[in-house]
Structure 1
Amino acid sequence: MLPATSVAQLAQSIDLVVDAVRGAPVDQYDNPTPCSAWTVRDLVNHIAMMLLMTRDVGIRTAPDPSLLTANPVPLLAGRPEPEWAFLLAGAAEPAARAWSEPAAWEGEAGLGGPPMPATALGGILIAEFTIHAWDMTAATGQRGTVPASLAETAFATYSREAPRMRGLGLLGDEVPQDADAPVLDRALALSGRNPRWEPAAH
């Protein structure tokens, strides 16, 4: 059965991250981000890679492994940086559409790593797009708001998946948080981010 809530949330998380990229001025592409050593430019490139791979895995086309290390990815290569947000927006609709079909959520799928239940991978995609939207807004001083439902899904996903993802080197160490901290803060902490991160401190 098609998980209607997950389909809607994946589309919503993709819209959220694309809007965050749209709101990031190109003159801030050298800014640091909460993502370790990445600049905003690196983060935009990573989001582009994720959109392309999300589309491919949704229709069960083997993703191009070179996308994992390409910087910039072919979608952005050779194009002026002021066009990058527009190019990401063009990649967003095919990515969301691929996961609007029941087959995308059935069986197993992999995004450059070991295959896993497609429903679990879909949850990870929702969490990652949501958290990268926060990364982008935090790095560029935007007043971004993460919907409560996406924050809840990200927290539930990382509560379940973070140890395995951390073991694969996909997440940093958990940042301690109080049990009664806001759910978004706890999701960020599980993903290895400090919810109080600010560019000025870096």
Structure 2
Amino acid sequence: MSEKNDIKISAPDGIKISALLKSAADHALPVVRDIGDEQLGAPTPCAEYDVHALLDHLFQVVVNFQALAAKRDADFGAAPEHLTGEWRERFAAETARLVDAWDAPGADEGTSGAMGLPARTVGSMVLGDLTVHAWDLARATGQPYEPDAALVGLLTAEFGSLAPTARKMGVFGEPVPVAPDAAPFDVLLALTGRDPGWVPPHRPQD
């Protein structure tokens, strides 16, 4: 995961990564399914990615983290072209495989692949990607999106402690100021360096 705003977190012990991923997937998949082919060239909150490139990146993450769940290595080099044929249904199928992979006995335990990180931390990376990149795609394509409140709270708590290190590593951008009464998900997005009010240049503010 090389993209600037990708996420490193560690889910708390006692909560299965697979259960958290199922919640994230349930909210992300409707966004992916409703992206029109004519929207693939649209800009996203990740400045280096348009919708097409971000979908390819997220596809790669979803597939590769299945291997990491099984303690196999994964290649995070250039993302191959995934958006061919019935790619929306293939994305849904690969996401279901991701949930199953992290539900397998031992997936949450030990270390994962060449990354040499605790398996729960590795599983939580893809949880963060699926949650926040779904917002990127939704905002880029004019769709509603709101992840589960409990998941937002979990991610925000993790980001609060990890954000300074993540910024030094280039994983997060600089925090974006938000109002004291900002919605919890806006606070989470701002911690990653995203502007919660971002809209594509061709669309007016909501």
**Within 1, Cα distance between the matches of 2:176 and 2:72?**
36
- Name the CA distance, whole Å, in 2 between partners of 1:33 and 1:201: 12
Q: Which residue of 2 aligns with 1:153?
A: 154
| Contiguous gaps of at least 5 residues in structure 1 | none
Counterparts of 1:148 and 1:180, CA distance in 2? 16
C-alpha contact (below 8 Å) 2:58/2:129 kept by paired residues: no
Asked if structure 2 preserves the Cα contact closer than 8 Å seen for 1:188 and 1:195, the reply is: yes
Shift of 1:71: 4.0
Q: What amino acid maps onto 1:105 in structure 2?
A: D
* Structure 1 position 127 matched with structure 2 position 128: yes
Counterpart residue type for residue 148 of structure 1: A
Classify 1:68/1:183 alpha carbon distance in 2 versus 1 (closer, same or farther; 3 Å). farther
1:123 match: secondary structure:
helix
Distance 1:183 1:102, change over 3 A: farther
Quick one: structure 1 residues 173 and 201, their matched pair in 2 at CA, closer, same or farther if it must change by over 3 Å? Answer: farther
Structure 2, unaligned stretches of length 5 or more? 1-12
CA distance in 2 between counterparts of 1:201 and 1:163 reads: 33
Partners in 2 of 1:99 and 1:188 — Cα distance?
A: 25
2:3 match: none
Greater helix share, 1 or 2? 1
What is the CA deviation profile of residues 34-70 of structure 1, one whole-angstrom value per residue up to 9, with x for unaligned ones?
Answer: 112210001110110111111010011111x2x4322
> How many residues are aligned here?
191
Post-superposition CA distance 1:85-136 (Å, at most 9, x none)? 12211211111111112411112226x7x43222223233222211111111
Percent identity, aligned pairs only, is: 30
- Could you state the TM-score of these two structures normalised by the residue count of structure 1? 0.84
Task: State the AA in 1 paired with 2:144.
Answer: R
Residue 198 in structure 1 maps to residue 176 in structure 2 = no
- Offset at residue 201 of structure 1 (A): 6.2
Shift of 1:143: 1.6
Query: Which residue number in structure 2 is paired with residue 143 of structure 1?
Result: 144
Structure 1 residue 5, shift from structure 2 partner: 4.9
Matches within 5 A, 1:1-202: 3-63=14-74, 65=75, 67-72=76-81, 76=82, 79-80=84-85, 83-109=86-112, 114-200=115-201
Aligned in 2, Cα 1:102/1:165: closer, same or farther, shift over 3 Å? Answer: farther
Partner of 2:5: none
Instruction: Normalising by structure 2, report the TM-score.
Output: 0.83
CA RMSD of aligned residues (A): 2.2
Does the 8 A contact of 1:127 with 1:153 survive in 2? no
